[in-house]
């Protein structure tokens, strides 16, 4: 039995991240980067595929956990008949090598503990050779090397291809474990002081969190979401991954299992807007610079996603030795959707730079040259069908959202040139394009009989992405077509108030895949935004608070939620979901009628 997705918490060092379960087991960790092979892959298989457990030996235990203040340092309190201990898990912001630190502190009585470290490199496939060396245990296989430092008083031994540590902690005592990865051809990595590292890590997170300038009623949830977004940032480049995991299913037992350890352009404008609104201009600038580097090149080669440093080749493969989370196979690494054609990304990129200009971020000459080339290319291609925002693995269609975002691209280019004609560009042509796109979407993408925009031209299906129409300024919130669309999506795509991306029922399923999926969390935040923009602030706030209740006990959200089973689904934690939370919180702050 796999733990529920929401039973996990996140720790990370701004270059990779680990998932820690309620049972004290680290079941997912890729080293040294988010997209590296996992050395703990129990999340997608079983304990034999790698994990690191640390918990009391008593069968009668009760655990409660929380992050320490506004940080990514996780505390788990274990209550046993013999006493109480606190296990503190964290990854220091990286200096030389990635470290995972686990500190056990006795709070009362005397508690027997056991650590079980089972390393399996290359996503649970490779069993390393483990030996004692220089007071530590070192595991080596191919390019990977992991060193484990254990407390002096622990009894460390090998059993069943794992390294075990038995020890007892009394009140006032502390014991620290440090796991460090480094390339196997190099000498032993630098040893950190785990207790000093804890203090430094807390100071780093507290200083960062204190910069948040949101002071509304949902400050706790907003800061936790921003910390999560910061944790999903690959610090060397400024790229932000969609999630630190791969193949967590969109439906239990299904095949909708994708690798999200990459950077999507669909997140570009939402990310920049959230970071700027919260006061994190340095992070916004780093993301913008990553975006500029990633998209540099011929405009026709623009991709929907890139690697952490802007890599373009992300070949998809299946890992048959992993059974999948709760039997949800196949497990995939890489993502073939990188080859898709999605016209909406042009709008998202242009909108991202527009938001940066509004915030006073400098516009370099080469940045505008890239934007100008993108708009000029889109001018000749926006009429083509594409796979759309949701990466449909079926025939290309004229998706309404894609056309709306083509309008956004032209509109933002027009606004930039109107504000600063010296930038250069064909203002009349871009205005004409903007008007033509708008006219066509309103004629071919709107169902007048039902009073709603549809998923694609000529269809009766709906798409939650059309909720973004008022947010991007395509039509005002009080336009009857917007109100009708919001009502239709709410009526036909929601379950218990939570919104699906589109229908996957029977013959209406157009994504080329069998089975269904859960409600898409960010779409529900979009519904709250749309309700507020259509003058229904109180309903928007009620929905927002319903969505906050979906967060797990440490404030994290996955990609989707199953309202029937009452559990989270999809890759976790999901940047898109947390971006939605931050954006809606700012949108509701001071919203008329929201109290």
**Do 154 and 217 reside in the same domain of the chain?**
no
Quickly state the pLDDT bin for 181 (edges 50, 70, 90).
Answer: very high
Nearest to 518 by CA among 536, 539, 494, 551: 494
Residues 327 and 427 in one domain: yes
229 and 124 within one domain:
no
For the chain, how many structural domains are there in total? 2
Half-sphere exposure (CA, 13 Å, Cβ side) for 68?
19
What CA–CA distance (Å, rounded) separates 344 from 543?
A: 27
**Contact by Cβ (8 Å): 56, 83:** no
Reported confidence tier of residue 153, pLDDT bands at 50, 70, 90: confident
Q: Lowest-pLDDT range, 186-195, 205-214, 574-583?
A: 186-195
Quick one: tokens of 341? 């054609």
One domain, residues 213 and 162:
no
Average pLDDT score over the chain: 94
**498 plus 567 within the same structural domain:** yes
- What pLDDT, on the 0 to 100 scale, is given for residue 592? 45
Are 179 and 265 members of one domain? no
101 with 220, same domain: the answer is no
- pLDDT at residue 133, as a whole number: 84
Q: How far apart are CA 589 and CA 153, in angstroms?
A: 53
Residue 590 has pLDDT above 70, yes or no: no
Tell me if residue 76 falls in helix, strand or coil: strand
CATH of the domain at 64: 2.70.98.40
Does 197 reside within a domain? no
Same domain, 55 and 166: yes
Q: Does residue 593 form part of some domain?
A: no
> Of 171, 186, 201, at which residue does a domain stop?
186
CA–CA distances in Å: residue 55 to residues 72, 163, 190: 20, 14, 27
Residue 513 phi/psi, 5-degree rounding, is: -125, 150
Average pLDDT over residues 469-492: 97
SS3 of residue 179 by DSSP: strand
State mean pLDDT over 463-467.
Answer: 97
Q: What is the DSSP letter of 95?
A: S
Res 152: pLDDT: 83
Does residue 264 belong to any structural domain of this protein? yes
557: pLDDT strictly greater than 80: yes
**Residue 510: pLDDT over 80:** no
Residue 509 in this model has a pLDDT that exceeds 80: no
Residue 352 lies in a domain: yes
What average pLDDT score do residues 523-541 get?
Answer: 97
Confidence at 461, pLDDT banded by 50, 70, 90: very high
Whole-angstrom distance, CA of residue 285 vs CA of residue 163: 44
Mean pLDDT over 426-442 rounds to 97
| Last residue in a domain, options 186, 220, 243 | 186
Residues 299 and 166 in one domain: no
163 and 233 co-located in one domain: no
pLDDT in tens, 355-388: 999 998 876 778 999 999 999 999 999 999 999 9
Q: What does each C-alpha distance from 413 to 370, 384, 404, 473 come to in angstroms?
A: 11, 20, 14, 14
Place of tokens 């590296």: 36
* Domain contains 331: yes
pLDDT for residue 300 is more than 70: yes
Q: Do residues 466 and 530 touch, judged by C-beta distance below 8 A?
A: no
Domain with 492 in it: what CATH number?
1.50.10.10
475: containing domain: 209-588
Contact 329, 310 (CB under 8 A): no
- Mean pLDDT over 289-307 rounds to 94
Q: What is the pLDDT of residue 403?
A: 98
Using DSSP bridges, classify how beta strands 62-67 and 25-30 pair: parallel, antiparallel or unpaired. unpaired
Q: What is the mean pLDDT of residues 240-253?
A: 96
Question: Given a cut of 60, is residue 595 above it in pLDDT?
Answer: no
Write out 356-390 in H/E/C secondary structure. HHHCCCCCCHHHHHHHHHHHHHHHCCCCCCECCCC
pLDDT in tens, 43-55: 999 999 999 999 9
Boundary residue ending a domain (186, 218, 249)? 186
pLDDT for 508? 47
> Average pLDDT of 395-421?
96
For the whole model, what pTM was predicted?
Answer: 0.96
For residue 302, being part of any structural domain is answered with: yes
User: Can you give the pLDDT at residue 267?
Assistant: 87
219 domain residue, yes or no: yes
In contact, 248 and 325? CB cutoff 8 Å: yes
Same domain? For 421 and 309 the reply is yes
| Secondary structure element (H or E) that encloses residue 197, with its range | helix 194-209
Asked if the structure places residue 530 within a domain, the reply is: yes
Cα–Cα distance for residue pair 207/160, rounded to 1 Å: 44
Does position 593 have pLDDT exceeding 70, yes or no? no
- Pick the range with the lowest mean pLDDT from 176-190, 227-241, 505-519: 505-519
247 and 168 assigned to the same domain? no
Which one-letter DSSP state was computed for residue 192? P
Average confidence (pLDDT) over 440-461 = 97
């Amino acid at each position: 039995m796999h733990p529920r997705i929401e039973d996990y918490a996140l720790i990370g060092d701004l270059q990779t991240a680990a998932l820690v379960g309620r049972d004290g087991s680290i079941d997912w960790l890729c080293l040294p980067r988010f997209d590296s092979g996992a050395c703990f892959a129990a999340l997608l298989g079983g304990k034999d595929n790698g994990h690191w457990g640390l918990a009391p030996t008593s069968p009668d235990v009760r655990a409660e956990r929380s992050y320490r203040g506004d940080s990514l340092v996780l505390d788990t309190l274990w209550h046993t008949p013999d006493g109480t201990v606190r296990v503190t898990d964290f990854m220091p912001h990286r200096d030389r090598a990635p470290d995972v630190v686990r500190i056990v502190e006795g709070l009362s009585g005397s508690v027997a503990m056991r650590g079980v470290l089972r390393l399996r490199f290359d996503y649970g496939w490779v069993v390393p050779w483990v030996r004692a060396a220089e007071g530590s245990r070192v595991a080596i296989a191919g390019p990977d090397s992991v060193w484990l430092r254990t407390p002096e008083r622990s009894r460390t031994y090998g059993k069943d291809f794992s390294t075990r540590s038995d020890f007892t902690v009394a009140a006032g005592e502390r014991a620290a474990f440090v796991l460090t990865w480094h390339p196997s051809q190099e000498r032993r990595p630098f040893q950190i002081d785990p207790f000093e590292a804890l203090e430094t890590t807390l100071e780093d997170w507290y200083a960062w969190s204190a910069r948040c300038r949101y002071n509304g009623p949902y400050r706790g949830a907003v800061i936790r979401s921003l910390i999560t977004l910061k944790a999903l940032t690959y610090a060397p480049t400024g790229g932000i991954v969609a999630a630190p995991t791969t193949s967590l299913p969109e439906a239990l037992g299904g095949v909708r299992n994708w690798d999200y350890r990459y950077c999507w352009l669909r997140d570009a404008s939402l990310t920049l807007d959230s970071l700027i609104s919260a006061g994190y201009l340095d992070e916004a600038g780093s993301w913008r610079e990553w975006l500029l580097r990633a998209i540099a090149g011929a405009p026709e080669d623009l991709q929907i996603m890139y690697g952490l440093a802007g890599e373009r080749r992300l070949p998809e493969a299946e890992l048959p030795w992993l059974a999948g989370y709760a039997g949800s196979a196949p497990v995939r690494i890489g993502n073939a959707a990188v080859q898709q054609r999605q016209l909406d990304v042009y709008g998202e990129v242009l909108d991202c730079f527009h938001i940066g200009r509004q915030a006073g971020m400098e516009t370099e000459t080469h940045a505008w040259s890239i934007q100008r080339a993108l708009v000029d290319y889109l001018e000749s291609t926006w009429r083509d069908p594409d796979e759309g925002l949701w990466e449909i693995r079926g025939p290309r269609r004229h998706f309404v959202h894609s056309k709306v975002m083509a309008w956004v691209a032209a509109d933002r280019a027009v606004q930039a040139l109107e504000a600063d004609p010296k930038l250069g560009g064909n203002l009349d042509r871009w205005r004409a394009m903007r008007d033509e796109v708008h006219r066509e979407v309103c004629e071919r993408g709107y169902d007048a009989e039902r009073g709603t925009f549809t998923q694609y031209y000529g269809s009766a299906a709906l798409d939650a992405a059309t909720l973004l129409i008022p947010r991007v300024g395509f039509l005002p919130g009080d336009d009857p077509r917007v109100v009708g669309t919001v009502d239709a999506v709410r009526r036909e795509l929601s379950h218990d108030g939570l919104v699906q991306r589109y229908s996957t029922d029977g013959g209406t399923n157009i994504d080329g895949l069998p089975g269904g999926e859960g409600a898409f969390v960010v779409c529900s935040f979009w519904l709250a935004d749309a309700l507020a923009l259509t003058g229904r602030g109180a309903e928007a706030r009620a929905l927002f608070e319903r969505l906050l209740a979906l967060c797990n006990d440490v404030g994290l959200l996955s990609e989707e939620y199953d309202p029937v089973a009452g559990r989270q689904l999809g890759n976790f934690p999901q940047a898109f979901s947390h971006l939605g939370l931050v954006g809606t919180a700012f949108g509701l702050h001071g919203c008329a009628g929201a109290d």
